[in-house]
Structure 1
Amino acid sequence: MAFCGLPAVCLSLITIISGCHGNAIPRITFPLDSPGRVVSIFSPPDVYNATTLLLSKDEETLFVGARNTLLSLRVNEWGGLILNRTLDWSPTEKDLSDCSMKGKEKTDCPNFVRVLQVLNSTHMYACGTFAFSPRCTYINSQQFSLVTGGKPEEGRGRCPYNPYQKNTAITVGGELYTGTVADYRGNRPVISRHLSDGGHVDLKLDDTLGWLDEPTFISSASIPSEEKVYFFFSEIGREYDFIDKFTVSRIAQVCTSDNGGQRTLQRRWTTFTKAQLLCQASGELPYNVLQDMTTLQPAGGATEGDTLFYGIFSSQWSVNAGRSAVCVFSLRDIKEVFAGSYKFLNKDTLKWTTRVQEKITNPGECGLHNASDNVLRFVKENFLADKSVLPVNQKLTMVSSDHHYSNIAAQRVQTDNDKEYTVLYLLTETGFLHKAVLLEEGVHIIEEIQVLTRPQLVKNLLLSISKGVVLVGSAEGVVSVPVSNCSYYSSCAECVLARDPFCGWDPSRRVCAVISSIEGSFLQDVDGGLVCGECEECRAPVITPRSRSGSGTGSPKSPAPPGELVSVSLNEVVHLQCPAVSHLAQRHWERQNSQISLKIYMQHEDGSLSFLATPSTLGGYLCKAEENGFTQTLIAFEVRQKSSPTLQPVTPSRPQVTQSSETRQAPTTKWVTMLQDREETPKPKAKELQPTMSVRETQAVTANRNVSENKQDRLKVGVAGGEHQLLAKTPSYLQELVVVSVLLALCISALLTIALFNVRQRCRSRTAPHSPGSQRAGAASPQEREALRGNSPSGGKRNGHANNTAKSPNTLSNGTLNGSNGHLPNTPI
């Protein structure tokens, strides 16, 4: 394994970011009840939790295990499900009462059928949770009735107690092999064999430490030629010394011929071994949690070693949160790992180490039940393979960062040229079924179909190859989805671009059909999807639009239409929608004799185009899609201006005047002039006014002519009844100018007066004689000096006037003279 064998600090130091894988995107999406992809839903009003599915050997009948019910359904050629019989298998009132007394919710106490297997040609075997007290029963397959006359068998070790716990079961030679929990609390996991026959005894795992560690059972498979049964599950990997519990995915094997030891391992498995399934790319963290596993039998002529196991894995690491990976393992690689060396568990230190002493026997080899006690003790201590099973070609089959897959099914499809393709059916937790084909360059998801309305915790996915349907069991009912939908593709280009190995273009009938129904040659390119190498549309493209519902809206045989007419008004925002025929196609817009400039047009993520309607943006538009080197026209538009009786188009050279209906036919446009009269100001010269226009016309003219001068002097003239009326006048600022000038003159005069007064006082103080103890004649009082400095006398001021009534009328207040007429006083120097 690629993990370092260091302490738990090793995991915290891992900073490798997941590498870039080809993230497959579904080409087409079909919502629930879409006419482009019809599915059948069997959901009777009194049937719930139809999560356990079983097909008869001839695949004509589908048996369903639901809540308190067993169903028998007939499957027709088109995937339709028809009810044959219904069996009621409900707990008694006492069973329900005992379940409630145990503290369980009433919704969890019914009987949820979790095991439904065919025993032989006449009988089936079913087990259910039965109010947290598992029970099992036999069913007559031909009459589809419960076998009476005996007490129902106890289901401990065959079926889980809790309906939410996962389990797995398979029958081989009339014997039941199960992986589940064997106690009420779910703490005793066990892999066991029941209904043993032919000299066999029922077996289970030994209680040896480390055989199973908190497992979650996923599925099981039987390889008849190997005489082995394989179990797939996830558990805690104690061989890694991390602080946190590290989950690993496992494959375990037991031999169908195992009969337990004579003294050691009596009624216990002597052939149980397990190994790790490593779904990991080079240099990345592993996808270590197994979600589902399916078996793909080898093709005709191949050996059993070519059997493949396709599994869905998720990750417990935050760097891979929300991602799913698909890995494929070969039976040949699994057998090689089980034939190698094994780890040894030191019971004193509880540490796993690789055994270095001589290998006594090969653990997991069939026939060990007759071995000696020394050999069985070696097997009992050595059951974990030293190496991990790596995926085929040591790489991931596919990775999805947008979808969390929960179930998987696989089949091989052979085309007319004897080439085989593997098709995977992947069920997402959100209720979508993905159909994907494996190619040399990667995975191509042909389509996704919504089959469930809400996420489900317990689901079952089953494939009927003879009927050509995928069956999905859920809490909502049973959904039947045909594996192909070739008639949806209405042209040769669409049929080839789909790259569906089921579908081919029939040139004689000019339809896309299932290749098994086509007589003669057909056109198909699953590997490349190259239209130009197959179809004539590459040389003569036509418009093949489709609506959002998924059905075709145009015939590929008809010529291209002139375009859908879109009537708009000038300066109106125009939105043109383009249909999406494929998520893999790149949509773009084109104009005839013009280009789509990013300064004018805006193309959105949904493929629509938005722009402002102007004379230059009117005309024809084409939406085209380019996919895999082929370009096709999806839709055409013709954008024209609305014909309005009150609005004429505006051109930059000749602006039009908006007129009423009575004056629209006037040959000339009236112009109005106006004189501005202001008191004691010269009369300005009259200006010629612009004609009145609508707001849109004014904006257009302004934008085209770049008129920016004298916007304040522009006058608007309204037209009503043929007479123009004045709407605005040019403002005048003459009075404001006079007031400002007078104030400025007063301020300058005040400053000059103060300066002259100070000079006069300074001159008089130098020439006048001084009398001790007396004040000189004409000298200013302290109050006057304070007033000249701009300060208030001791008495203060009220509302800008002095409080001293004996003050001179020429006293300054706040730096200005308070004279009677506001002029400067006559003060001699």
Structure 2
Amino acid sequence: MRLNDQCPNLLTFILLSDFYTHPSLTNSVHLFYFCSFPEMLESSNLVTFNGLANSSSYDTFLLDEERGRLLVGAEDHIFSFDLVNINRDHKQIAWPATPSKRDECKWAGKDLGKECSNFIRVLQPYNQTHLYICGTGAFHPICAYLEMGKRAEVRHGSLFFVFIDLPIHPCFLLCEDNIFRLAQHFENGRGKSPYDPKMLSASLLIDGELYSGTSADFMGRDFAIFRTLGDHHPIRTEQHDSRWLNDPRFIGVHLIPESDNPEDDKIFLFFKENAMDGEHTGKATIARIGQLCKNDNGGHRSLVNKWTTFLKARLMCSVPGVNGIDTHFDELQDVFLMSAKDPKNPLIYAVFTTSSNIFKGSAVCMYNMADIRRVFLGPYAHRDGPNYQWVPFQGRVPYPRPGTCPSKTFGGFDSTKDLPDDVITFARGHPAMYNPVHPIGGHPIMVRTDVDYQFSQLVVDRVEAEDGQYDVMFIGTDMGTVLKVVTIPRESWHDLEEVVLEEMTVFREPTPITAMELSTKQQQLYLGSALGVSQMSLHRCEVYGKACAECCLARDPYCAWDGTECSRYFPTAKRRTRRQDIRNGDPLSQCSDLQHHGSVEDRSVFGVENSSMFLECSPKSQRALIYWQLQRPNDDRKHELDDRVLRTDQGLLIRSLTQSDVGIYHCQAVEHGFIQPLLRLNLQVIPTQRLGDILPGFPGIGGGVGPSAKHRLWYRDFLSLLDHPDLNSVEEFCDRVWKKERKQKRVKTPNGNGQGKPDGLKNWNAYCKCVRIWLVAWDTALQPLKPPVHKLLKKDWDKQFSEVFIQ
């Protein structure tokens, strides 16, 4: 006899034979695919370096594509990882703080374990053979040079290299040296690295000069923007003037050309600070963008060794409100510059979060340089009037306009030391612009609220697809996950639709992602946190399935249908079988074989009258909408479901089955106007009175066993297994129940030589197997459900079991 024939009652409670688990998602997240940390490891899509026992804070990254290395600054260590595989041939240098500095740090009241180490905060290329690195040095900043050897060069000659479309290590072509050592000459790191490892700082080393935004004292009160190294005298912002900087936290420093004349080049800084007095009610955080001229050498009589061209403006990222009250995202977290054909006009992506403890949200805003330059050419902020409030300056602006770089392009001055006194005086008192910089389109391109994470990092890759170029964002969160998002234009490139393609967990424990770098050559993403470093591929086309429609609906610019499967898309490929539609995601126009797709799967499901029933059906794409219809027996028409049925993201919940629920339930996915049949479930409802006929020989049903207190106790023991469906505990439970029955009622075996099992339990071994099957099915079926649905379903099933096994 088959097991199915032995246990018809348990099979009525198995919802579906094939379970597919999806994460619980809020209504604001339109996620296509989620991948947990174990799944990422098992699928070979993730490589992790779990860090050292005596090191943490893998926060400072430097990507060296030419050498094929990823440089990482951490606590007391500098690492060099292979870009192809970070677990292959990695190198490390220990650079701890000296014992005397650690003692001084401890005596100053700092935490010896968390603060009194050398946290690497500056990691910049100095020349072709050396890097310049700085660390906190246990609250005594220190800098040094790190020798790397000459970079790889491809020499033209008699050798002919054939480039294939595979990740190739640059040193495969030519590597002269394999050097990684720290020079023994150390320098004072004041004005280059922060004292406190918790202080946010940013730096950029270009043409032998280091531009840093950091704190310059032990107490963390003197914040400034410095320029050190090089041939010029060190220069900084005005000290102890909140109009210039007001408790800033620096995010990024970038060089952006202003014109074709290098003398006009400007350094742009992205930071957040406290609002200036009168600028905002309360102590609010404001996101800022600052600019200064690369050739600024300070003033002659005023602002000596101070910046004379520094200006700042507010960086806005807000959602317009219905009542005219905007929701602001002011906590700037990260900035990424997407290079353009014109180096003067990169596209700027910025990640923001809210500063409110009540409302938790994140946003991504996008800016162009034309709007930024327009603000810096606009009115200056000026305090005036009876309330001494901030207003646009209406008076005479001196010439040349403050903030203009000394060059032949704009005014003919050779140096900032030659600027007139009225220009320097005006610049000292008016460092802020009145108008803010608004994002493209006037609103964020992506907003997330009511989720358990916030955005922390961002990198962007520009991908060539069949129907144009698309920017794919990789967004790191404070929970150790990465969102892969593509921005797709609707009517214009200023009106973008964000489509979340994947969410991936890249660290074994929830931890904020603090650093990200993207290698276009290796097609890899590198991530840093307090726990270590992770590496993942930019594309995982196999997760979208093996059907043309699924691949097309994914709208992933990296992937296309190649006639057999969803695989990596290459713009140079000339195969006509490549199918891709990122703009519309329309499989009807791309997949010519849709009308020949396989038949829809049919399944039979059984339920007991007056019990609960869950019909599971989940599409792979969480962007798809599920549409259900019921076809009743002897009726060709399909009907809409009534209000008795509770619709969830994972399927239908019928709380109390009746004979009117019998029929075929059609589950269909609707996405971008494309309707895809997923499943047909044939539901049969078994009347309660028939259970005694189809379940002979079980406790409480047939076999002459009545509803005694003993069986009620047995039922309570049985229900205790529901919360812990462990196979061993089921076996122990079977033995325990059998032994109880054996003690109370001994029955002679037919030959009279031994003790047999009770009549009501003669098929006990088969019954135990059925219990195990049912418990596994029960546990698996309820996993995808949200907790409220889980409780409702379990409550109803408990009631049903009490009726079946006790009555």
TM-score by length of 2: 0.69
8 Å Cα contact 1:294-1:310 kept in structure 2: yes
* Distance of 2:556 and 2:641 partners within structure 1: 38
Question: Is contact 1:293–1:309 with CA below 8 Å preserved after alignment?
Answer: no
Match of residue 780 from structure 2: none
Q: How does 1:203-282 map to 2 (within 5 A)?
A: 203-207=235-239, 209=241, 210-224=243-257, 226-238=264-276, 240-282=278-320
Q: What is aligned with 1:370?
A: 418
Deviation at 1:572, TM superposition (A): 5.2
Q: What is the deviation of 1:498?
A: 0.8
Q: Equivalent residues in 2 for 1:599-748 (5 A)?
A: 601-610=645-654, 617=661, 620-638=664-682, 647-648=692-693
Name the count of aligned residue pairs.
Answer: 606
Over 3 Å counting, the alpha-carbon distance change for 1:376 and 1:31 in structure 2 is: same
- C-alpha displacement at 1:315, in angstroms? 3.2
Q: Counterpart of 1:121?
A: 128
The aligned residue for residue 108 of structure 2 is 102
Q: Find the residue that maps to 1:33 and give its secondary structure.
A: helix
Distance 2:217 2:347 in 1: 34
State the match for 1:133 in structure 2.
140
1:29, distance to aligned residue in structure 2 (A): 1.7
The one-letter code sitting in structure 1 at the alignment partner of 2:557 is P
1:467 maps to 522
1:203-242: CA deviations, max 9, x gaps? 1112262211111111111114551111011112226355
Aligned-residue RMSD, C-alpha: 3.2
Aligned to 2:744: none
> Which residue number corresponds to residue 33 of structure 2?
28
Which of 420, 438, 445 aligns to 1:397? It is: 445
Considering only CA atoms, is the larger Rg found in Structure 1 or Structure 2? 1
2: CA distance, partners of 1:291 / 1:610: 47
- The structural deviation recorded for 1:119 is 0.9
Match of 1:675 in 2: none
Between the aligned partners of 2:568 and 2:612, the Cα distance in structure 1 is 44
SS in 2 for 1:335: helix
Shift of 1:352: 4.1
The amino acid across from 1:183 in the alignment is D
Aligned partners of 1:130, 1:448: CA distance in 2, in Å?
A: 37
> How far did 1:118 drift?
0.8
Q: Verify: 1:336 aligned to 2:355, yes or no.
A: no
Amino acid paired to 1:606: Q
Tell me, in whole angstroms, the C-alpha distance in 1 between the residues paired with 2:426 and 2:244.
14
Aligned to 1:425: 474
Q: CA deviation at 1:394?
A: 2.5
Matches within 5 A, 1:285-364: 285-300=326-341, 303-316=342-355, 321-344=359-382, 352-361=390-399, 362-364=401-403
What is the CA distance between 1:25 and its match in structure 2? 2.4
Runs of 5+ in structure 1 lacking a partner? Answer: 1-21, 543-558, 651-657, 662-829
Displacement of 1:41: 1.4
Once residues 271 and 284 of structure 1 are traced to their aligned partners in structure 2, the CA distance between those partners, rounded to angstroms, is 34
Give the AA of the match of 1:428.
Answer: T
Using the TM superposition, give the Cα deviation of residue 258 of structure 1 relative to its aligned residue in structure 2, in angstroms. Answer: 1.4
Question: Structure 1 pair 244/183, CA: closer, same or farther in 2 (3 Å)?
Answer: same
The amino acid across from 1:201 in the alignment is H
1:191 aligns with 2:225: yes
From the two aligned structures, give the one with the greater helix fraction: 2
Task: Determine the C-alpha separation between the residues in 2 that align with 1:624 and 1:444.
Answer: 21
Alignment of 1:445-484 (within 5 A): 445-456=500-511, 459-484=514-539
| Residues 630 and 369 of structure 1: CA distance in aligned 2, closer, same or farther (over 3 Å) | same
Q: Alpha carbons of 1:141 and 1:647: their partners in 2 closer, same or farther (altered >3 Å)?
A: same
Correspondent of 2:575 among 492, 495, 520: 520
Segment drifting more, 567-576 vs 136-145: 567-576
Say which SS state the counterpart of residue 497 (structure 1) adopts.
helix
Match of 2:58 among 50, 53, 71: 50
Q: How many Å separate the matches in 1 of 2:366 and 2:44?
A: 29
AA aligned to 2:404 is: E
* Cα distance change of structure 1 residues 578 and 93 upon mapping to structure 2, 3 Å threshold: same
Q: CA deviation at 1:168?
A: 0.5
Q: Which residue of 2 aligns with 1:731?
A: none
The answer on whether the counterparts of 1:275 and 1:388 sit within 8 Å (CA) in structure 2 is yes
| CA offset digits 1:574-605 (Å, max 9, x no partner) | 43332341222222444444557436644444
Tell me, yes or no, if structure 1 residue 158 matches structure 2 residue 158.
no
Secondary structure at 2:313's aligned position in 1?
strand
Distance of 1:365 and 1:121 partners within structure 2: 32
2:486 paired with 1:486: no
| Residue 201 of structure 1: aligned partner | 233
Q: Aligned letter for 2:99?
A: E
The offset of 1:195, in angstroms, is 1.0
Q: Could you tell me which amino acid in structure 2 is paired with residue 500 of structure 1?
A: D
CA distance in 1: counterparts of 2:307 and 2:228, whole angstroms = 13
Paired position in structure 2 for 1:435: 484
Deviations 1:132-184 (A, max 9, x none): 2111111001255444443x211111111111111101111121110011111
**Deviations 1:642-671 (CA, angstroms, capped at 9, x unpaired):** 999994479xxxxxxx9889xxxxxxxxxx
**Matched letter for residue 67 of structure 1:** E
**Is 1:92 aligned with 2:98?**
yes
In structure 2, what is the equivalent of residue 780 of structure 1? none
Query: Quick one: which amino acid aligns to residue 476 of structure 2?
Result: L
Per-residue displacement from partner, 1:519-553 (whole Å, max 9, x unpaired)? 423211111111222224643444xxxxxxxxxxx
Change (3 A) 1:196 1:570: same
Q: Within 2, Cα distance between the matches of 1:445 and 1:399?
A: 12
Q: Which moved more, 1:612-621 or 1:138-147?
A: 612-621
- How do 1:533-612 residues align onto structure 2 when only pairs under 5 Å count? 533-536=589-592, 538-542=594-598, 559-563=599-603, 565-566=604-605, 573-594=612-633, 595=639, 597-598=641-642, 601-610=645-654
CA distance in 1, matches of 2:665, 2:572: 40
How many angstroms apart in 1 are the aligned matches of 2:427 and 2:671?
A: 58
Structure 2 residue 205 is matched with structure 1 residue 171: yes
CA distance in 2 between counterparts of 1:326 and 1:587 reads: 29
Q: Are the structure 2 counterparts of residues 266 and 146 from structure 1 closer, same or farther at C-alpha, using a change threshold of 3 Å?
A: farther
Secondary structure of 1:496's aligned partner:
helix
Answer whether contact 1:305 1:330 (CA < 8 A) is retained: no
Query: Aligned residue for 1:409?
Result: 459
* In 2, Cα distance between equivalents of 1:342 and 1:616: 74
2: CA distance between counterparts of 1:139 and 1:381? 41
Letter in structure 2 aligned against 1:98: E
Deviations 1:389-410 (A, max 9, x none): 2222333222221342111112
1:351 deviation in Å? 5.2
Is the CA contact 2:466–2:580 (under 8 Å) kept in the aligned structure 1?
no
